Structure 1
Amino acid sequence: MVNAIPHQLRKRGSNFGECPVYKGVKLPLISVKLNPDPVQDGKPEHFDVSGTLDVDIPASAILNVYYADPNKKTIIGDVSVKPMCTDNCPIKAKTEFKVSDDTTTPSLTDPYAIIVAVTDDQNVLGCAALSTNKYAEELDGNNGLDE
């Protein structure tokens, strides 16, 4: 007879962290939650994005969500682009923002990364990255955003 201790498997959520340094600047970290978590190839994905930035978020700011192949340093599929706000713009500095986006997960490589960034016309205002490996080291400081 074997004695077994019953246990419950706990699902570990995807943990987004800092994006690689961009143009010599450490990017402010934003919060990202996925549903479902983890992502699944070809399935719809919902992103809840929030944070507080030290700069105003202008009316022209957009939310960018994309998947990347860190080995090839290329974007996988299409970049999802959504206005950061439709009302109450600009969002003043140090004011919490919340925005969501729905996109379909492309067929992913192994490893893969997900980048979520708030940008204006010329700058990355905030960013979060998720990778199945050491994405920041592999990209040599290039997070896939246009320089």
Structure 2
Amino acid sequence: MNRNYIFVFILLVTTFSMINAVPHQLRKRETKFDACGAEPITVKINPDPLVSEKPATYTGSGTLKFNNIIAGKTMLVIGYSDTSNNPIGDQDIQHFTESFNAGEPFTITAKDVQTPKLPKTYGITVAILDVSTNPKAPIYACATATVGGSLGERAYPIAGFSIAGYPIAERS
């Protein structure tokens, strides 16, 4: 009788160990944003992961060391790209409504950002830039994420877009 209890106990322990070792599809995976050559920023998205063709909320925060954020001029720009670094859909552009000096922490939230129809693997780039004040080096800070696989090279869809109302940002 004791052997049966020992056997059942070992069987239960083994079963629970195997269940916990298997990754679950339902377990939430947070999108990880990495720095992309300019100053880094922290980006959180909701919902995470994104749902194709559904609006999302982006929150960017950080502290710029070298540039001031100027209300009405500095922008938060969100763009998507495919595995060939081609832009997907339109960028979302939101101007800062509050100014921050270099060294001051900031937070900006972009609500109802339209998510395009996303492929299985795509890139997201979130950047803080100011074309009107600094046309030669407009990107102050940025973060990128690859979702669903590896893009090979980091995607910078913002660099290839023209920014409506700011023709100086167009690439030739």
Q: Give the counterpart of 1:96 among 90, 105, 108.
A: 105
Give the counterpart of 2:141 among 123, 126, 129: 126
Percent identical pairs in the alignment equals 30
Match of 2:92 in 1: 80
1:1-147 → structure 2 map (5 Å cutoff): 3=12, 4-5=15-16, 7=20, 10-19=27-36, 26-54=37-65, 55-59=67-71, 60-71=73-84, 73-84=85-96, 86-87=97-98, 89=99, 91-102=100-111, 103-121=113-131, 122=135, 123-132=138-147, 133-135=149-151, 137-139=152-154, 143-144=156-157, 145-146=159-160, 147=171
Could you tell me how far 1:28 is from its partner in structure 2? 0.8
The equivalent of 1:22 in structure 2 is none
- 2:127 counterpart letter in structure 1: A
CA distance in 1, matches of 2:62, 2:40: 8
Structure 2 residue matching 1:138: 3-state secondary structure: coil
TM-score by structure 2 length? 0.70
How far apart are residue 98 of structure 1 and its match?
Answer: 0.4
1:62 maps to a residue whose letter is M
Unpaired segments of 5 or more residues in structure 2? 1-7, 161-170
Structure with higher Rg: it is 2
In 1: Cα distance, 2:142 partner to 2:35 partner: 7
1:12 deviates by 2.4
Structure with the larger helix share: 2
Provide the secondary structure at the position in 1 that maps to 2:80. strand
* Partner AA of 1:68 in structure 2: S
Q: How many residues align?
A: 134
- C-alpha separation in 2, matches of 1:114 and 1:47: 11
Q: Secondary structure at the match of 1:108?
A: coil
Identify unmatched segments of 5+ residues in structure 1. 20-25
Q: Which has the higher contact order (CA 8 A, sep 6+)?
A: 1
1:16 maps to a residue whose letter is F
